[in-house]
Amino acid sequence: MAKTIIVSNRLPVSLQHKFGKFEFKPSAGGLATGLGSIYKEGDNIWIGWPGNDVEDPGQRQEVAEELQKLKMAPVFLSKEDVELYYEGFSNDTIWPAFHYFTQYINYHDEYYEAYKRVNRKFCDAILEKADPEDTIWVHDYQLLLLPMMLREALPKSTIAFFQHIPFPSYEIIRMLPWRREILEGMVGADLIGFHTYDDMRHFLSAVGRLLGLSNESGYIQADNRLVNVDSFPMGIDYGKFSKAATSKKTLKNIKKFKEQLGDQKLLLTIDRLDYSKGIPQRIKAFDRLLEEHPDFHGKVSMIMVVVPSRAKVKTYQELKEEIDTLVGRINSRFSTLNWVPVHYFYRSFPFDELSAFYAMSDIALVTPLRDGMNLVCKEFVASKTDKKGVLILSEMAGASKELVDALLVNPNNLEGMKDSIMQALTMPEEEQVQKIGTMQASLQKYDIFQWVKVFMDRLANVKGKQKELESKAIDKSLVKELKNKFQSAKAPILLLDYDGTLVGFQGRPEDAFPDAELKHLIAELSGKCQIVVISGRDKETLGKWFEGQKVDMIAEHGVWLKERGDDDWTLYAAIDDSWKEDIRQVMDYYVLRTPGAFIEEKHHSLVWHYRKVESGLGDLRMRELFSHLKYMARGHNLQVLEGNMVLEIKRPDINKGRAATAFMKGKEYDFIMALGDDWTDEDTFKAMPKDSYTIRVGFAYTQANYNIKSPTEVRKLLKELMED
Ligand code: GDG
C-alpha cells in the first residue's frame, strides 16, 4: 500500500547522549503534533536529522533501530555538513535573504555545494524507503533542492513541499547566484505551499521571470506536469493550548509567578534569538513609554523570553549583546526596589510554564521585522480562556493576514508601537473580549489538523488534474497507431500550424524562419501526404519561407490560400479593414508607453506584440489595452484575443476552423491529423471530422484529443510517421 513520508531537516525528536546511551526527547512543536496524525499511521514514516552527531557505524545502526520503533528514520549529518549546509547555506544565506536581511547574506559556493550534497543525502535516505507510488511531503528552506531530486528518481510519485519561512520578492531572490537551481528544485513538487498569499505571489513571479514558467491561477505548467502553488496559513493545536491554560500545573505556576511579581500589568514577548524578530525595537518602544509616562512605573512589566539560538554565529552574538545592553539600560534607569521593568530570560521554559506566561499576561507583544507565520501570537490568543488580553502584532508576520483583530503595528515605527502598548494598557475589557473572541473562533476553525487536511486535499486535487492531462499525452502505443494508419492511408492530410508547433518562439517574429532540418522534414513528408500549413502569419512571410515546397498554405488565420502549384494567393475571405485606422491609433498609444512593444499589421487583423517588454509591465499594459480594445471592438463588431505574448484584434468570422473546413470540403481523406499550439488552433481542432487525430502542443486544456510536449517532439513524431 502507498505510504506517506514526511521529510524535514530535523526529526520531531532530538537525540541525546546520556551515560553512554542514546535517548530521544520528543519535540512538542506544532508541526510535530499536526503531522503526528499522519506519520504515526500505517507504514508512514518521518525522515530527518536527529540533531546530534553520530560517527560510529555501529551506533548509527543502533540509533536507526531505535528510531524505527518511533516510525522515524535518520539522515546522519557530519560536523562539516552541519557547519556548511545547516549553519552555512541554510542559516547564513537563505535565512537572511528570505527574511529581507540582505546585509547578512553570505555568498559562499562552498556553502551551496554542501547544501546540494546534503539535499542529495536526504534524497538517498528517502529512496531507501520510498516506493514509486508514495506521497512525500518535504518541509522548509533547508531542503529546497530535494523535490526535484526526488522527482528525477521517482517521476510518478506524489511530492509536496511546504515552506515555513517567507518567500521574498523577486528583487531579493535574484541576488542569489543559485536562484535558478533553487527554484527548479522547488518546482519538482506537485504542490508548493506557503503561509501567505504574498509569499505565493512572490514565488510565482520569481518562477515566471527566472524560469520562464508562467502560471494561471497558481497552476504552473512545468514540462508535462502541472504544479499547484497555494497559500496554507498554518494553525496551532488550539485544543492543547486552551486546555493547558486552565490545567492544574499551569494554575499552580500562575499563582507562584503572580506572588513573585505582585500586582502588575504584564507584557509578554517570546522569541528565538534572531535578528528577524525585532527584539531591540520592542525594548526601545517600551523604554519610550516608560520615559513619557512615569504614571506606569511600578504598574507594568515586560516578561521577555529569548530562546538561545545559533549562538556560534557572530551576528547572533552581537544581537545578544545589544539586547543585554538595552535591557541593562532600561532596568538600571527605571527599576525601583520592588519593581523591574523587564524580566529578561535567556533560556527556554517547560511547556506548563510557557502556558502560565500566556495565560497570566495582559498583553503579548509580537513584533518581528519579518516572520513566515509566527505561532506564538496564536498560542497566546488560544490560551486566553476568559478572552481578556490584547495582542499587539507586527504587520510583517504572516499571522497578521489572519489576525486582523490584533493591534497591528509596523515594528520599525517605535512611536506607533509605543502608542499601541498604551492603547492595549487602556483598552476596555469589552473590546478585549470581542477582539480575542473573534480571533479565537478563527484559530479554532483553522487549527493544525485542518491545515494538514486542507493541504492533503489540495495535493490529491492537483494529482487528479495531472492525471486528466496525462491521459492525453502521446505515448508509444499511439505513435505506433498513427504510424500504421498514416502509412496504410491512401489520402492522408496533415494540417500544421507553424509558430509554436513546427518551430519554437523567438524574440523577433521574423527570426522564427524554417531551419534546414524543418525544410528537409517538410520536403520528405510532402512526398507522402498532403500538407496544409495553416498559420496566422502574413502571406508574404509564409510564401517566402515555404517557397518551392509541395505544400498548401493558409495565411492569416484563413484570409489567404495558396494551393500547391499555384502562382498566386487567392482571397479566401472578404477583407474589410475600414476599422483599422481607429484601432491602430489606440495601439500606437500603448506602443509609445511601452518600450519593446510593437504592432504587426495583417490583412484582417492588428496584433500588439509584447514578448520583448519588461516582464510584468507587458502584462499590465496588455490588460489595459485589452479592456480598451474590448470596448472599441463592440462598435466595429471585432474580436479581441489574447495569444502567446500578443493581443490580436480581428474579425470574428475569420478563423482557422472555417478555413480548414472550406479547404477540405468535397475532398476525401482517410487519415487526418491536425497540430497546433494555441487558441487559434482550437478552431481547427473543433472543425475536424470525428475520426481525425488532433494534437495540441504544450500541456494546456484543449479540444484536441492529445497533447504533445514541444515543437521538438512534434518534429520527432512527424519523422516517426515515415519510418519503417
Ligand atoms: C518557523 C517560521 C513559522 C518558544 N519558546 C518556548 C517555546 N516556544 C515555541 C512556541 C512556538 C514555537 O516555539 C515558535 O514558533 P514560531 O512560529 O516562531 O516557529 P519556528 O518553528 O521557530 O519557525 C515561523 C513556523 O516555522 C511555523 O511554520 O510560524 O514564521 O520561522 O510554538 O510555543 N516552547 C517552550 N518553551 C519555550 O521557552 N516549551
Kindly give the distance from the C-alpha atom of residue 271 to the centroid of ligand 1, in angstroms, as a whole number. Answer: 7
Percent helix, strand, coil in the chain, to 5, is: 45, 20, 35
- Which has more pLDDT, 31 or 248? 248
**Quick one: pLDDT at residue 227?**
96
| DSSP at 509 | G
Q: Which of 92, 140, 271, 497 is catalytic?
A: 497
List the beta bridge partners of residue 560. Answer: 555, 571
Residue 348 pLDDT exceeds 70: yes
Which atom in ligand 1 lies closest to the alpha carbon of residue 397? Answer: 30
Mean pLDDT of the region 168-178: 97
Cα separations in angstroms, 370 against 7, 95, 278, 391: 25, 11, 8, 17
Q: How confident is the model at residue 238 (pLDDT cuts 50, 70, 90)?
A: very high
Q: Which amino acid is at 115?
A: Y
Pocket around ligand 1 at a 6 A CB cut-off? 29-30, 164-165, 234, 270, 272, 305, 307, 348-349, 351, 354, 371-376, 379
- Judge residue 321's burial from the number of C-beta atoms within 10 Å of its C-beta, 0-12 exposed, 13-18 middle, 19 or more buried: exposed
Confidence at residue 45, expressed as pLDDT on a 0 to 100 scale: 96
In the chain, domain spans: 4-231, 238-445, 476-573+654-722, 580-650
DSSP conformational letter for 225: E
pLDDT of residue 642: 87
SS (H, E, C) 237-275: CHHHHHHHHCCHHHHHHHHHHHHHHCCCEEEEEEEECCH
- CATH top-level class for 238-445? alpha beta
Share of the chain above pLDDT 70, in %: 99
**Ligand 1 atom index nearest CA of 30:** 32
CATH ID of 476-573+654-722, from 3.40.50.1820, 3.40.1350.10, 3.40.50.300, 3.40.50.1000: 3.40.50.1000
Window from 107-116, 205-214, 307-316, 687-696 with minimum mean pLDDT? 307-316
Cell of 12: 520531531
CA distance 708 to 150: 24
Position 30 pLDDT exceeds 70: no
Shortest-distance Cα residue to atom 20 of ligand 1: 374
Q: Please confirm, yes or no, whether 497 is among the known catalytic residues.
A: yes
Q: What is the predicted pLDDT for the residue at 699?
A: 78
Listed residue (327, 338, 344) closest to 299, CA to CA: 338
**Closest ligand 1 atom to Cα of 348:** 38
User: 211-234 pLDDT, tens per residue?
Assistant: 989 888 899 988 768 999 999 999
Ligand 1 atom, smallest distance to 236 CA: 32
User: Given the C-alpha cell 473572541, which residue does it identify?
Assistant: 437
Dist. CA 148 → ligand 1 center (Å): 28
Full strand arrangement of the beta sheet holding 605-609: 598-601, 605-609, 646-650, 639-642
Atom of ligand 1 nearest to the CA of 351: 39
Distance CA(539)–CA(716), nearest Å, equals 27
pLDDT bin (cut points 50, 70, 90) of residue 28 is low
As a whole number, mean pLDDT of residues 260-274 equals 95
Q: How confident is the model at residue 193 (pLDDT cuts 50, 70, 90)?
A: very high
Q: Convert the pLDDT of each residue in 656-670 to its tens digit.
A: 999 999 999 999 999
CATH class of the domain defined by 580-650 = alpha beta
Q: In angstroms, what is the span from residue 379 Cα to ligand 1's centroid?
A: 10
What is the distance in A from the centroid of ligand 1 to the CA of 603? Answer: 64
Ligand 1 atom having least distance to the Cα of 166 = 30
The 10s digit of each residue's pLDDT in 522-531 is: 999 999 999 9
What pLDDT, on a 0 to 100 scale, did the predictor assign at position 471? 75
**335-348: average pLDDT:** 96
pLDDT at 438: 97
C-alpha 719/C-alpha 713 separation (Å) is: 10
Amino acid at 398: G
Q: Which residues contact 714 (CB under 8 A, 6 or more apart)?
A: 501, 502, 675, 695, 697, 708
Q: How far is the CA of 382 from the centre of ligand 1 (A)?
A: 15
**How much is the pLDDT for 32?**
79
Q: What is the mean pLDDT of the chain?
A: 93
CA–CA separation, 277 and 369 (whole Å): 6
State which ligand 1 atom lies nearest to the alpha carbon of 28. 39
**C-alpha of residue 31 to centroid of ligand 1, in Å:** 10
What is residue 722's predicted lDDT score, i.e. its pLDDT?
95
Q: Is the fold of 476-573+654-722 the same as that of 580-650?
A: no
Q: How far apart are the first and last CA of the chain?
A: 43
Measure 270 CA to ligand 1 centroid, in angstroms.
9
CATH classification code of 4-231: 3.40.50.2000
Q: What is the mean pLDDT of residues 269-273?
A: 95
Least reliable range by pLDDT among 75-84, 137-146, 195-204, 626-635: 626-635
**pLDDT of 700 over the 80 cut:** no
pLDDT value, residue 469: 80
Nearest CA to ligand 1 atom 21: 29
Q: What are 280-334's pLDDT values in tens digits? A: 999 999 999 999 999 999 999 999 999 998 888 888 999 999 999 999 999 999 9
- Residue 654's pLDDT band, with cuts at 50, 70 and 90, is confident
pLDDT at residue 29, as a whole number? 67
**Residue 166 Cα, ligand 1 centroid: separation in angstroms?**
15
311 Cβ neighbours under 8 A, 6+ residues apart: 273, 317, 320
Res. 546: pLDDT tops 80: yes
